[in-house]
Amino acid sequence: MTDLLRRHATALWSLAVLLAFLALWEWGPGLLGVPVFVLPPLSRVVEEGARIWGAERLMWHAGITAFEVLVGFVLGSLLGAMIGYALGLSPRVEAVLSPYLLALQIAPKVAFAPLFVMWLGYTIYPKILVAVLIVFFPVLINVLSAMRTMDADMINLARSFSASRLQVFRMVEYPTTLPALFSGLRIASTLAVIGVVVGELVGGNMGLGYLLVFFEGQGNTAAVFVVIGALTVIGIVAYYAVVLAEARVLHYLPKAENRMT
């Protein structure tokens, strides 16, 4: 029994922290005299969640947001990885394009949301574009940094065996940069949720961002917490999907399956 508790000590402590937080949320506002419309207790949030589950089609809106997050994450990651590898393979192209990429990176990504809405209307496309723009840079920077710090001796060794440029990339550069790529994907998975919500807040008629604006207009604080909780769940699922993919792909690395945080 002692060994079992020792092995699961971290999980038990995490559960204890969660229970303490939920208890503080439930009884803390009342003890401190905080009005319900400012910080509703947990039970009130749960009741409101049960109400809007059917009345406001919570799952339908969550499905729209999750779809936009998935598409924006996949497209932004693919674009960032492809351009990162292309720039890493060609220093001259990197030197030419770096000022423009830097300018685009410095520009506030959320500022593009109203522009995308004006161009594409109140559809899912502006939200996906904002997500793509936000996801793109973490993946690009991680891949490019890994390509820049590549061990030249490994590349020279492959060339000494008459490996072609494509073979050097496929057998040396690409596998070596996979850990950095997945680090960028972890960051991008959470940023994709932020990008989609920003797009829905600016110009949405569906999705969880739209519900946030709707309930904020009603002054329904409990419902806002419900939507925030749903967005958090989507972000957690997206993050750990990347973590699980990393554990499968990078299983050959020491302790790769244990790096869950």
Higher model confidence: residue 211 or residue 55?
Answer: 211
CATH topology of domain 38-258: MetI-like fold (1.10.3720)
> Which residue in 191, 1, 179 sits closest to 109, CA to CA?
191
pLDDT at 101: 83
pLDDT of the residue at 5: 60
Whether the predicted pLDDT of 261 surpasses 50: no
Q: How many other C-beta atoms can be found within 10 angstroms of the C-beta atom of residue 177?
A: 24
Confidence of residue 13 (pLDDT cuts 50, 70, 90): confident
**CA nearest to 196, candidates 149, 188, 254, 93:** 188
Which DSSP symbol is given to 250? Answer: T
**Element holding 146 (H helix, E strand):** helix 125-148
Q: What is the largest CA-CA distance in the chain?
A: 76
Closest CA to 231 of 243, 247, 215, 244: 215
Residues in contact with 76: Cβ distance below 8 Å, sequence separation at least 6, in sequence order: 131, 132, 133, 134, 135, 136, 139, 188, 192
Mean pLDDT over the full length of the chain: 86
Residue 66: exposure state from Cβ atoms within 10 A (0-12, 13-18, ≥19):
buried
- Whether 258 shows a pLDDT value over 70: the answer reads no
The residue-averaged pLDDT of 163-172 equals 79
Distance CA 153, CA 151 (A): 5
What letter would DSSP give residue 261?
-
For residue 39, pLDDT over 80 is answered with yes
DSSP character string of 50-81: HHHHHHS-HHHHHHHHHHHHHHHHHHHHHHHH
